[in-house]
Amino acid sequence: MPITHNNNLHYLEVFLNKYYALINFAIVFLPAIIGVYSYRKYKNTHAKYFIWFCVYVAIVEIIGSYKVMFEKIESLNFINSYLEGTLLENENWWYLIFWTLGGALFYAYYFWILLENNISKKVIKFSAIIFLIFFVINFYLRFNQISSSAQIPINIAQAILILLAVILYFLEILKSNKILSIFSSIHFYIGATILLWNLIMVPLTFYDIYFNRSDMEYSILKAFIFLGCNTFMYLTFSFALIWCKPRNN
């Protein structure tokens, strides 16, 4: 995206300021709402855990945006000034615990139930435990600097855990007869989407050193990539929830 013209940059910034939070909220809530609506359809399948997860993500997103909310609502502005200088000043810690850790453990658990091969199951279980230990150690050691660049090892570990789970699941599908009905299986869409999302998100964390006020070009690019990835992911989830034909376990 050759964002060189300053005028264009300005428009994009205005656009993002105005609509970023709104669009993000809308797409995060979409699969949660559709999931709750079609919960009956998936009641007897493992996909119900995924619906719970969608709702969980929506809640995490609401609470995680506390800083923006306090900024936008004038009567609550004062809270931000209290938070200044504390760990809560930055909402990274929240996403780190509830999205990076919670999300990774959820996906590991999800594909762990879907898998039938005992060796794959053990591999995922073992990796999840290692990831948890690694996360706790990292969190403890870098407690005072939960900034973006300090998260790189955790982000990579999270991506490896999720990719491992998805790849093991895909390999099992390829070997079994489940492949015959794969395009009507919600697990396939979840796996494929989360695979792509993670692949894109990891390198973004390397670029996080540029994510500051003085590098508007990168900040806007990042915002668009983030928005695009999220839109793609949650729209695919919503589509899958509507379109897939669940099978009883």
Contact pick of 39, 56, 99, 207 for another protein (by CB under 8 A): 207
Is-contact 122 108, C-beta < 8 A? no
213 binds another protein (CB under 8 A): yes
| Selection from 146, 60, 67, 48 nearest residue 103 by Cα | 60
215 binds another protein (CB under 8 A): yes
203 binds another protein (CB under 8 A): yes
Let me know if 55 is exposed, middle or buried by CB neighbors in 10 A (0-12, 13-18, 19+).
middle
9 binds another protein (CB under 8 A): no
Binding piece for another protein, criterion CB under 8 A, among 22-30, 55-63, 127-135, 191-199: 191-199
C-beta of 10: minimal distance to another protein in Å? 17
What distance in Å separates the CA atoms of residue 117 and residue 178, rounded to the nearest whole number? 14
Residue whose entry in the numeric block shows the structure tokens 């719970």: 52
Binding piece for another protein, criterion CB under 8 A, among 19-27, 96-104, 123-131, 171-179: 171-179
Helix (H, G, I), strand (E, B) or coil at 17: helix
Structure tokens of 203? 């390198």
223-to-29, 109, 127, 219 alpha-carbon distances in Å = 19, 30, 31, 6
Residue whose entry in the numeric block shows the structure tokens 């435990």: 129
Which C-beta is closer to another protein: that of 63 or that of 199?
199
163 binds another protein (CB under 8 A): no
13 binds another protein (CB under 8 A): no
Which C-beta is closer to another protein: that of 45 or that of 185?
185
225 binds another protein (CB under 8 A): yes
Number of residues that bind another protein (CB under 8 A): 29
76 binds another protein (CB under 8 A): no
192 binds another protein (CB under 8 A): yes
The contacts found for 170-179 with CB under 8 angstroms, 24 or more apart, are 171/120, 172/115, 172/116, 172/117, 172/120, 176/116
DSSP-assigned letter for residue 89: G
Residue whose entry in the numeric block shows the structure tokens 């973004």: 204
Residues contributing to the site for another protein (CB under 8 A) = 1-2, 4, 170, 174, 177, 179-180, 182-183, 188, 192, 195-196, 199-200, 203-204, 207, 209-210, 212-215, 217-218, 221, 225
